[in-house]
Chain A
Amino acid sequence: MRRYARALLHDLDAADDLVQDSLERALTRLDNWRSGENPRRWLFTIMHHLFVDQFRRSKRRAETSLLPLDNSEAMAQPAVQFGHAANGEVLNALQKIGADRRAALLLVAVEGFSYAEAAQMLDIPAGTVMSRVSRGREELRSVMDDASRRRAIRVVEP
């Protein structure tokens, strides 16, 4: 859960807040939990819904106040220690792809859920999961390629 939250949000405290909110909400809704449902999937579903709510709210806030969204992000503790330069690169690239695609790609490629499971969690058809995952993957690749091209140019023209 923390991995998914962190990869979605790229900010340590915000990500742990999301996990905490999800667990608290899950506790109050234990009765809604259909027995037989995969518990991990259920928790991820709750977390995803909270993330979407949060994302919409912050977007609205950004539109009305015209304040840069990442004011707080600039100060925040980085989500992952970039011990490895390549790690930082791939995680930065991840933040540049669309939130819908990022979520689908993370659930399937990192968390190991099937298209059908991710479809339930995201409340979209499995075909849409498939296309979001593949587009997300293509986007991630091109963002990483752009980054390395920019680096190459910098090396050539100091």
Chain B
Amino acid sequence: MIQRGYSERDIHLALDGELPPDDLAGFERWLAANPDMQALAQRYTQDRQQLVGALEGILAEPVPERLSRLAGAKPRAGSDSRHLFRYAAAAALFVAGGLAGYLVAPQFSSATPPLVQMADNAIDAHLIYSNEKLHVVEVGADQRDHLQGWLSKRVGVKLIAPDLKNQGFELVGGRLLPAGKKTAAQFMYQDATGNRVSLYVTRDETGADTGYRVLEERGARALYWLDGGYACAVAGSTPEGTLSAIADATYKQLLEDQKG
């Protein structure tokens, strides 16, 4: 194999993730043999860490109301692209995870806020049970009333398994989960091709109303929010628009049921 020549340019390419994978080993060897270049690469890495760290605080700040309102805290009637927009705006305004752990020196990272923890739990639970073949749920959709009554009682808030037929998903069933010292309900849904999404709900004592936020990790994403005493997360690996439509339907049905 012919070794290609490397230069300072490759330091930038490597930092930006643009160096072809095949060149990585050669690049590392070249760096090791050129202490000046190695020092430069370290310096740039350090500068970037400092830059990302200096800006990281912005992600943790509360988003001003005028912006979160635009990102669409409340569902409105509309087209698919409106769903997508709300998802995108939530993703762009309230990113958690993603870059947060990426490139950031440990001294900058802070404790995970409880709401993100809830979304993280929802993704964990989704990944565990959506891949289950035989025991996806504890109580099946054929006992819907019993399921809803039981989970409402155990979670301590009035729950229904929302009807997601318009979004192409049928209820499979549900189960009770631990959520720290509290309990959470998980409703599992499945579309015609076997894709699964799950709804994770716990009781929220704060009474806050947050609008949608997004957490993406381990190949799944959760759209989550607090409203009306519910802390909810819809988790799945489905396209963004679908998840947003499911979140809208869930949000509406939970609150309507609570009033009704």
Contact = CB atoms under 8 A, between A and B. Distances in A.
Interface of A: 1-3, 6-7, 16, 19-20, 23-24, 26-27, 30-31, 33, 35, 39-40, 42-44, 80-81, 83-84, 86-88, 90-91, 94, 108-112, 114-115, 130, 133-134, 137, 140-141, 144
A137 B54 contact: no
B138 interface: no
B32 interface: no
A133 B16 contact: yes
Contacts of B51: 90-91, 94, 109-110, 140
Contacts of B93: 1-2, 19
B57 A115 contact: no
A31 B54 contact: no
Given A1-B92, A39-B91, A130 B47 contact: no
B105 to A, nearest CB: 11
Nearest to A135: B12
Interface in B18-75: 18, 43-44, 47-48, 50-55, 57-59, 61, 63-64, 66-67, 70-71
A42 B70 contact: no
A83 B81 CA distance: 41
Given A87-B50, A109-B48, A43 B12 contact: no
B92 A44 contact: yes
Contact of B47 (A40, A83, A137): A137
Contacts of A33: 81, 84-85
A39 B55 contact: no
A43 B88 contact: yes
Contacts of B251: none
B89 interface: yes
Contact of A137 (B44, B59, B85): B44
B92 A43 contact: yes
Q: Is the interface of A mostly helix, strand, loop or mixed?
A: helix
Contacts of A140: 47, 51
Contact of B12 (A1, A27, A88, A130): A130
B13 interface: yes
Interface string B78-90: 0101101101110
B240 A39 contact: yes
Given A23-B71, A80-B57, A81-B57, A30 B81 contact: yes
B58 A6 contact: yes
A15 to B, nearest CB: 9
B9 interface: yes
A3 to B, nearest CB: 5
Contact of B43 (A31, A86, A91, A141): A141
Given A16-B67, A23-B71, A144-B47, A80 B55 contact: yes
A115 B85 contact: no
